[in-house]
């Protein structure tokens, strides 16, 4: 699980750096956006749960890893465009790994199961939301594809499996396999939630 986490933060840092690049950021900006994308989800979760110290503050090497990954992505951007499929795959793995890790952190704090699921989804999704805010875009996760819903579903499955007496180890393997499969199918077949048209919207604010 730990090596999966490292793989996930590397992938997220690279995705953040590439997005920043398209928005005209300098090298510092790329590294910062990459780091925020990779570590932001866990940071938001821990701040909301009051769970200190934050992971990257006790393990500063995580920050170095994400900065390196962002710098490598920026340097190799020309080649990475041919690897989009690999990125989507690693990102899907990362989403589920982040979610499972987020659930574990919250569960250790004795909060209710609903909050455990939410904490997992926040870990999976908030890094990308912060990346989009820094890039001055509306967060993609709010309007595109089955992404956050899969994080919520994976978290719920993980909590349910444990409630049914399955140990954390096997439960996380099951969730990883199922969640990853659903996410890849969603990408392949462009599954998405219905976007309600602007014409449907009311006038209240």
Note whether 204 binds its own copies by CB under 8 A. Answer: yes
> Considering only residues 133, 177, 181, 185, which one is a binding residue for its own copies as defined by CB under 8 A?
133
Distances (CA, A) of 181 to 36, 61, 120, 135: 27, 31, 18, 30
Interactions with its own copies, residue window 14-73 (CB under 8 A)? 14-15, 18-30, 32-33, 43, 47-50, 52-54, 57, 60, 63-64, 73
What is the number of other CB atoms lying within 10 angstroms of the CB of residue 115?
18
- Cβ neighbours for 148, distance < 8 A, ≥ 6 positions apart: 121, 124, 125, 141
- Cβ neighbours for 151, distance < 8 A, ≥ 6 positions apart: 95, 96, 98, 99, 120, 121, 124, 125
Q: Residues 90-129: x/- map of binding to its own copies (CB under 8 A)?
A: ---------------------xx-xx--x----------x
Interactions with its own copies, residue window 152-191 (CB under 8 A)? none
Near its own copies by CB under 8 A, which window of 97-105, 132-140, 158-166, 170-178?
Answer: 132-140
> Considering only residues 2, 165, 167, 205, which one is a binding residue for its own copies as defined by CB under 8 A?
205
> Of the two residues 30 and 161, which places its CB atom closer to its own copies in the complex?
30
Asked if 43 and 56 count as a contact pair (C-beta separation under 8 A), the reply is yes
């Amino acid at each position: 699980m730990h090596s999966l986490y490292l793989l996930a933060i590397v992938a997220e840092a690279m995705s953040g750096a590439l997005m920043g690049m398209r928005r005209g950021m300098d090298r510092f900006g790329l590294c910062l956006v990459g780091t925020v994308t990779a570590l932001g989800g866990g940071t938001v979760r821990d701040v909301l749960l009051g769970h200190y110290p934050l992971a990257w503050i006790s393990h500063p090497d995580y920050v170095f890893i994400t900065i390196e990954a962002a710098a490598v992505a920026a340097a190799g951007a020309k080649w990475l465009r041919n690897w989009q499929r690999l990125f989507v795959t690693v990102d899907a793995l990362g989403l589920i790994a982040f979610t499972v890790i987020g659930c574990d952190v919250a569960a250790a704090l004795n909060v209710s199961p609903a909050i455990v699921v939410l904490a997992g989804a926040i870990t999976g999704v908030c890094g990308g939301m912060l990346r989009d805010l820094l890039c001055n875009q509306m967060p993609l996760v709010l309007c595109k594809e089955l992404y956050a819903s899969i994080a919520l579903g994976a978290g719920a499955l993980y909590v349910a499996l444990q409630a049914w007496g399955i140990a954390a180890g096997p439960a996380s393997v099951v969730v990883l396999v199922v969640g990853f499969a659903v996410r890849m199918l969603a990408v392949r077949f462009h599954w998405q939630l219905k976007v309600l048209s602007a014409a449907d919207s009311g006038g209240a604010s």
